[in-house]
C-alpha cells in the first residue's frame, strides 16, 4: 500500500512539474510571438484558453473513462439507427428521422436536405455528431463553471463552422442554385466576399445588409434638430418640437458608446426619439465621439465629467431648467448610475427621474459575454489596447456576433457567398455594422472592475472623479426596463441591479431581446410587457414575474404615463439654438458619421 501511495504521489509531482514547465513554455512562446507582432495578444489569450480546455477535456476522459465509453455506446446506437433508416428509405419505406434540426434552425429549411437521401444522411450524421459532442461536454460536471462555459462555447463554434450548410459541395440548396444559374451565384458571391473583405481587410466580417441603401442623416437619424454643444468627447443634440407646448422638464438620453445613438432614431416610424418628441417632450441626446489612438487616455471619469455632467449642464443652459428627466441605455445607464451617485456626494440633484434601458449594475451574471470575462482573456485585450490605444469596434462586433454565430455570421455566409444573394436593406443591421472604438483607459478598467470583479454594486468600492460610488445612496425615482429574451443584459441581472439602486424603484419587463425589446414602437403591436407596481421589489425576480400583469403591445405609452408625474407643467415649445446655446450644425451632427475604421487612423 505504501508503495502504491508513494507511486501516486510521485505521479502527481511529475505531472505538476510537467504542467508547470509546459505552461512556462507556452508563456515564453506567447511573449515571443507577441513581441515580434506575429500574433495579436487577444489571439494568444484565446489560444491559451483553448489549450487549457483541451487539457481539461483530456483530464476528464482519464478520470471518467466509463462516462466516455457510455457516450460512445450511445453514439454507436444512433448510427445503427441511422443505418436502419437508410435501408428503409432505400427500400421506399417511410421512417422517422434519427435526428432532426430544431424548428427555428434556418440552415436546413430547404426541401433538398430531406428530398435527397445522401444529403439527408449527411445532415443527420452532422446533427448526431455535434449533439453527442455537446452532450459529452455538458456532462463534465466536475469542471469549474467558467471553464465549462468556455469549453461549450468553443465547441459550439467548431460544430457550427463544420456544418454542411457552410460548404458548396455539401449544401444541396446551393448546388441547385449553382446549376440553375450556371454558376452566376458563385461569381456574385465571390464579388460580395471581396467587397466585404475590402471593407475590413484586417477584421473580416460578413456583410449583413445593403450598405448602399442607408445614409446617416439621409434616411437614418432624420429627426429634425440641432447640435447645440460639443466638446472633445460629445455632441449634444436638441430636437425640434412638433407640438405647440412641451413639458417643462426636458429629457436627456445617454446612449451607449459601444455603438451609435441612432439605434434610437432609425427610420422615422421606428424612431424612439421622434416618437418621444411627438409626445410633447423636449428631447436631448448625447452623441459620443468615435475614438481612435489619440483618445487612448479617456477614462470613465472623462465620460462622466465631459459626457453626462457636461450634457446636463448644457441642457440647463439651453432650456433654463435646472431639473430634468434622464434616460440611460445599456452601458450608458451604467455610466448614468455612477454619475448620479457622484452627484449625490456633491450635493447636486439635477434629475427628477431616471430610466434605465437594459442596464447592468450588478455583473454577477453578465450574460453570454461572460465567456470572454476571465483574467487570461482580459489580459490579452488589455495588452492589445495598450499597444493600439483602443479596442476596435469591428473586432468587438465580431465577438458579439459569435454569441449567436449561426444567426449573425453563418447564415449570411451561406446567403451572400454560396447562394449569391444580395443582403437585404435592413436599418437595424446597418446600425449593427456601424461600430465604434473604445479607448484603452476606459474599456480595460470597465471590463476588469465591473464585469470581472463586480465592484460597482459594492458600496464605496470604486472611485470616480474624486468620490466613492454608492448606488444605494441615489434617491432619484427610477424605472428599470429590461427585455425577457436579452442575452447581453439578462433581465434577471438587470433586476438585481435595480435592487441595489436607492430611491423609489419600478421595474418593467418587455418582450424580445436587447434591441427589439427597447425599439418597439406602438404601431407594431408586438411583444407585450409585464408590470408589477410593488413598493419594494421582491428578492426573487421569478416572484416579481409571477405576480406581474401582462400587457399587449409596446411599453412606450405606459412609460410615458409614468414619466408624466415628473415632467412638470406645459410651456411653449422650445426652438433649438434660440436659447443661451446657439446651433452649431444640423442633427444628427458630425460625430455620429465617423466610422470606426476612419477613427482608428486618427
* Number of alpha carbons in the 13 Å side-chain half-sphere of residue 272: 25
Cis bond leading into 588, ω under 30°?
yes
In sign, the C-alpha dihedral spanning 330, 332, 338, 340 is negative
Pairwise CA distance, residues 400 & 407, whole Å = 12
Residue 330 known to be catalytic: yes
**Among residues 228, 330, 489, 509, which one is catalytic?**
330
Give the closest residue to 373 by CA, choosing from 149, 158, 141: 149
Question: Which residue has cell 441581472?
Answer: 493
Total Cβ atoms within 10 A of residue 272: 23
Pairwise CA distance, residues 265 & 222, whole Å = 7
Pairwise CA distance, residues 185 & 191, whole Å = 10
Give the closest residue to 427 by CA, choosing from 205, 255, 195, 260: 260
* Separation of CA 37 from chain center: 29
Pairwise CA distance, residues 356 & 329, whole Å = 6
Give the closest residue to 254 by CA, choosing from 299, 307, 314: 307
Give the closest residue to 529 by CA, choosing from 556, 550, 513: 550
Pairwise CA distance, residues 266 & 430, whole Å = 10
DSSP for 272-335, written as a single string: HHHHHHHTT--EEEEEE----GGGTT--HHHIIIIIIIHHHHHHHHHH--S-EEEEEETHHHHH
* Separation of CA 289 from chain center: 20
Question: Is-contact 365 490, C-beta < 8 A?
Answer: yes
Give the closest residue to 399 by CA, choosing from 152, 65, 43: 43
Cell of 174: 446551393
Angle at 169 between CA 166 and CA 170, to 5 degrees: 60
Q: List active site positions.
A: 330
Amino acid at each position: 500500500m505504501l508503495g502504491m501511495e508513494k507511486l501516486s504521489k510521485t505521479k502527481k509531482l511529475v505531472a505538476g512539474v510537467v504542467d508547470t514547465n509546459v505552461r512556462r513554455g507556452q508563456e515564453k512562446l506567447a511573449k515571443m510571438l507577441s513581441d515580434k507582432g506575429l500574433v495579436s495578444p487577444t489571439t494568444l489569450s484565446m489560444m491559451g484558453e483553448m489549450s487549457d480546455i483541451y487539457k481539461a477535456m483530456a483530464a476528464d476522459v482519464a478520470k471518467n473513462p466509463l462516462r466516455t465509453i457510455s457516450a460512445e455506446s450511445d453514439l454507436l446506437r444512433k448510427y445503427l439507427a441511422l443505418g436502419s433508416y437508410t435501408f428503409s428509405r432505400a427500400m421506399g419505406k417511410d421512417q422517422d428521422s434519427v435526428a432532426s434540426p430544431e424548428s427555428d434552425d434556418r440552415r436546413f429549411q430547404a426541401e433538398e436536405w430531406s428530398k435527397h437521401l445522401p444529403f439527408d444522411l449527411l445532415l443527420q450524421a452532422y446533427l448526431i455528431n455535434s449533439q453527442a459532442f455537446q452532450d459529452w461536454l455538458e456532462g463534465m460536471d466536475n469542471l469549474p463553471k467558467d471553464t465549462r462555459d468556455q469549453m461549450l462555447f468553443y465547441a459550439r463554434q467548431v460544430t457550427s463552422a463544420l456544418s454542411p450548410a457552410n460548404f458548396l459541395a455539401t449544401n444541396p440548396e446551393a448546388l441547385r442554385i449553382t446549376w440553375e444559374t450556371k454558376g452566376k451565384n458563385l461569381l456574385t458571391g465571390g464579388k460580395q466576399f471581396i467587397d466585404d473583405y475590402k471593407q475590413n481587410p484586417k477584421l473580416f466580417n460578413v456583410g449583413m445588409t445593403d450598405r448602399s441603401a442607408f445614409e446617416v442623416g439621409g434616411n437614418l437619424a432624420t429627426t429634425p434638430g440641432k447640435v447645440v454643444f460639443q466638446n472633445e468627447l460629445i455632441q449634444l443634440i436638441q430636437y425640434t418640437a412638433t407640438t405647440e407646448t412641451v413639458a417643462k422638464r426636458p429629457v436627456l438620453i445617454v446612449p451607449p458608446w459601444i455603438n451609435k445613438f441612432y439605434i434610437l432614431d432609425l427610420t422615422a416610424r421606428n424612431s424612439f426619439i421622434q416618437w418621444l418628441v411627438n409626445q410633447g417632450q423636449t428631447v436631448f441626446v448625447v452623441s459620443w465621439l468615435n475614438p481612435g489612438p489619440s483618445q487612448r487616455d479617456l477614462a470613465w471619469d472623462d465620460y462622466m465629467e465631459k459626457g453626462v455632467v457636461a450634457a446636463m449642464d448644457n441642457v440647463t443652459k439651453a432650456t433654463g431648467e435646472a431639473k430634468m428627466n434622464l434616460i440611460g441605455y445599456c452601458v450608458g445607464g451604467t455610466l448614468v448610475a455612477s454619475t448620479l451617485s457622484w452627484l449625490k456626494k456633491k450635493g447636486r440633484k439635477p434629475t427628477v427621474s431616471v430610466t434605465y434601458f437594459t442596464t447592468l449594475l450588478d455583473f454577477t451574471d453578465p450574460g453570454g459575454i461572460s465567456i470572454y470575462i476571465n483574467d487570461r482573456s482580459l489580459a490579452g485585450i488589455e495588452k492589445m489596447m495598450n499597444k493600439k490605444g483602443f479596442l476596435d469596434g469591428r473586432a468587438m462586433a465580431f465577438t458579439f456576433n459569435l454569441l449567436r454565430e449561426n444567426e449573425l455570421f453563418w447564415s449570411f455566409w451561406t446567403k451572400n457567398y454560396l447562394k449569391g444573394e444580395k443582403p437585404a436593406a435592413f436599418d437595424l443591421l446597418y446600425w449593427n455594422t456601424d461600430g465604434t472604438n473604445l479607448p484603452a483607459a476606459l474599456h480595460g478598467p470597465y471590463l476588469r472592475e465591473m464585469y470581472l470583479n463586480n465592484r460597482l454594486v459594492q458600496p464605496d468600492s470604486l472611485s470616480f472623479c474624486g468620490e466613492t460610488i454608492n448606488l444605494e445612496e441615489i434617491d432619484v425615482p427610477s424605472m428599470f426596463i429590461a427585455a425577457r429574451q436579452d442575452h447581453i443584459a439578462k433581465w434577471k441581472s438587470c433586476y438585481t441591479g435595480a435592487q441595489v439602486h436607492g430611491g423609489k424603484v419600478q421595474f418593467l419587463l418587455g418582450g424580445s431581446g436587447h434591441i427589439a425589446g427597447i425599439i418597439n414602437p406602438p404601431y407594431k403591436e408586438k411583444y407585450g410587457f409585464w408590470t408589477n407596481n410593488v413598493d419594494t421589489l421582491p428578492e426573487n425576480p421569478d416572484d416579481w414575474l409571477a405576480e406581474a400583469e401582462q400587457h399587449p403591445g409596446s411599453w412606450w405609452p405606459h412609460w410615458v404615463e409614468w414619466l408624466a408625474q415628473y415632467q412638470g407643467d406645459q410651456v411653449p415649445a422650445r426652438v433649438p439654438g434660440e436659447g443661451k446655446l446657439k446651433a452649431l450644425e444640423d442633427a444628427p451632427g458630425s460625430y455620429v458619421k465617423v466610422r470606426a475604421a476612419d477613427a482608428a487612423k486618427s
